[in-house]
Amino acid sequence: MDLSAIYSSHPVCERNILARLQRGNVSLSEVNEWSLALDPDTDISDQNHPGGVQSVLALATAARISAASVVIDLGAGIGGSARVLAQAFGCSVLGIERDPDRCRQAIRLTALVGLSNRVTFLVHDALSNAAGIADADVLWGQGAWAHFPSPEQFFDLWLPTLTTSGRVAMSDAFLAREPAGEEESQLARELQTLWCVHLTPIDRWRRALETRGCTLVHVRERTEEARAHFKDTLTVSSIWPIGTVTAEEQHSWVLAGDAIERGLLRMYQLVAIKHA
């Protein structure tokens, strides 16, 4: 599947979030970022990654994000992580998103919750170039960098935008081992197609950082959190309004759960410091 096609019908979108607020009789004049990010009843939020808000806060704490931080969120989507970072830590965030409609949604939702002074967005393909992008002290990627086929090419483009002693903070899905047999190979291929990702070993991302002047300072596995996320979301999506989620997206959650059970898929968060 094409990435644009996936996100044109993705359940994490402005339309579904605003519809959820309307069903709850929430006045838009009273909405803040926590209104968008937290939904304990139906889990329709602006957080497009396992672990939701808590995963954002955990990664941000490991990356030592503060009010003085300037963050570039590469693959920002509709801006859920970026807004939580600004709301919780007071930092400035530039979200880079290739899909124009997702970027427009991010801008509107950010304006709705009054964070446009700290969170901005740019329509840009992160694999084309990084020209003209302001220096940052944190490069952030949450559930997004697996879309990029080459960690080496990705870091060659974006590490130059990071200040010395700046941090790389990422959380994503990784291939834990090579598939065993045709059944597992088909599982991996189908999941990569449905998510439009490139599942590569975590060691390849580590080496790409280390050979480019970065030192890993934090590695935390979050596979159990992801396992619970896919199981719970699959369950709760059965009560979502018709049209909220596609059958393909739900099937991807089933496959992800299966891949985790088989020990084929693992979720990690990493933080590295740039030294040169």
Q: 84 near 57, Cβ under 8 Å?
A: yes
Give the pLDDT score at 217: 97
Number of structural domains the chain divides into = 1
**Rounded distance between C-alpha atoms, residue 232 and residue 50, angstroms:** 10
The band of 5, judged by pLDDT with boundaries at 50, 70 and 90, is: confident
Q: 32 near 87, Cβ under 8 Å?
A: yes
Q: What is the mean pLDDT of residues 110-116?
A: 98
**Rounded distance between C-alpha atoms, residue 35 and residue 41, angstroms:** 12
Report the chain's mean pLDDT, rounded to a whole number: 95
Q: Tens digit of pLDDT for each residue in 33-49? A: 999 999 999 999 999 99
pLDDT reading at 70 higher than 80 = yes
Q: Tens digit of pLDDT for each residue in 174-185? A: 999 999 999 999
Q: H helices within 38-180, ranges in order?
A: 52-62, 80-89, 100-112, 151-158
Give the pLDDT score at 3: 83
E strand spans, 90-198: 92-97, 119-123, 136-142, 162-175
**Rounded distance between C-alpha atoms, residue 253 and residue 114, angstroms:** 33
**Residue numbers of the domain that contains 179:** 3-274
- Percent of the chain at pLDDT exceeding 90: 92
Give the pLDDT score at 1: 61
**CATH classification at residue 231:** 3.40.50.150
Q: What is the mean pLDDT of residues 131-156?
A: 93
Q: What is the mean pLDDT of residues 222-248?
A: 95
pLDDT reading at 189 higher than 90 = yes
Q: What is the mean pLDDT of residues 17-26?
A: 95
Give the pLDDT score at 4: 85
